[in-house]
Amino acid sequence: MNRCRAAPALSAVAVAGAFHLGPSVVSLGQWTPLRAVPWCRWRGPAVPLVAITFDDGPSPDTTPLVLDRLDELGLTATFFCLGAEVHHHVELVRELVDRGHQVETHGHDHDHHFARGPRWVARDLDRSLAALASAGVSPRWFRPPYGQTTGGTLLAARRRHLAAVLWSSWGREWAAPDAAAVAARVVGSLSPGAIVLLHDTDILNPPGSTRRVVEALGPIAEALDARHLRAVRLDELVAP
């Protein structure tokens, strides 16, 4: 092999790899004190507000349970919806909005961006935006599935005027033994400006996961009151 030709080829591969996987380091932001970088956010400003967010829905089996509990507790939230679910439950998306909550995009198919190229990511995001448009929603935020953020993820979001957002606190309810464990995990990382990740469906989680979330919302609300924090929509916490 001609070494002069091999070197540029290897360089091109290295550049492509860096573009694809380099931005993935943003997933580490939840374990740092950083609030945001120009291309991604984990926390809002250090104000006495918190954004509670839900991923993967909507689901007619579990999302209404979450909505009713939020109403009982006087909490507002932000729902990152999958386009694939929105297609089947447009009226439920409209109900989310009518009940005072914010709806944003979680992509269309809940797939790993690390295993997908930029074209697939762009098409997936376009499909999710079309689904939400049918419900009268124009997203401003994008949370990639699994928090996997590649170069293609960020480029697709930027070109569609969407800001990427991850989280600083999460319940990991799919792995929790009970609601108390979910609440303890969230409360342990609650602070001014926190962005909390939970799920409003068991579509991608073990059965009973969302039930644990519903039961954990009460202790979470109590912790918010004790710390003089108020749960608000993401757009009330921070502008994209």
Tens digit of each residue's pLDDT (9 = 90 or more) over 11-62 = 543 333 444 444 455 566 677 787 888 889 999 999 999 999 999 999 999 9
The length of the chain is 240
**Domain 3-237 CATH assignment equals 3.40.630.30:** no
Q: E strands, 56-193, where?
A: 78-81, 102-105, 141-142, 163-164, 169-170
> Looking at residue 8, what is its pLDDT?
54
pLDDT at 83 over 70: yes
pTM (predicted TM-score): 0.89
> Looking at residue 29, what is its pLDDT?
65
**Considering the chain, what is the average pLDDT of its residues?**
89
Catalytic one among 101, 124, 199, 202?
199
pLDDT (average), residues 97-110: 97
pLDDT (average), residues 1-9: 53
> Looking at residue 239, what is its pLDDT?
83
Tens digit of each residue's pLDDT (9 = 90 or more) over 127-148 = 999 999 999 999 999 999 998 8
Read off the pLDDT band of 1 (50, 70, 90): low
Domain positions in the chain: 3-237
Report residue 235: phi and psi, to 5°. -70, -15
pLDDT at 150 over 70: yes
pLDDT at 7 over 60: no
> Looking at residue 2, what is its pLDDT?
56
Q: For 213, how many CA atoms within 13 A lie in the half-sphere containing its CB?
A: 31
Structure-model confidence comparison of residues 202 and 20, the more confident one: 202
Helix-then-strand count for the chain, H and E = 9, 10
61 is catalytic: no
Coil, strand or helix at 89: coil
Q: How many other C-beta atoms are found inside a 10 Å radius of the C-beta of residue 193?
A: 21
CB 145 within 8 A of CB 107: yes
List of residues 6+ apart from 90 with CB closer than 8 A: 134, 135
Catalytic one among 55, 124, 200, 202?
55
Structure-model confidence comparison of residues 207 and 26, the more confident one: 207
pLDDT at 126 over 70: yes
87 is catalytic: no
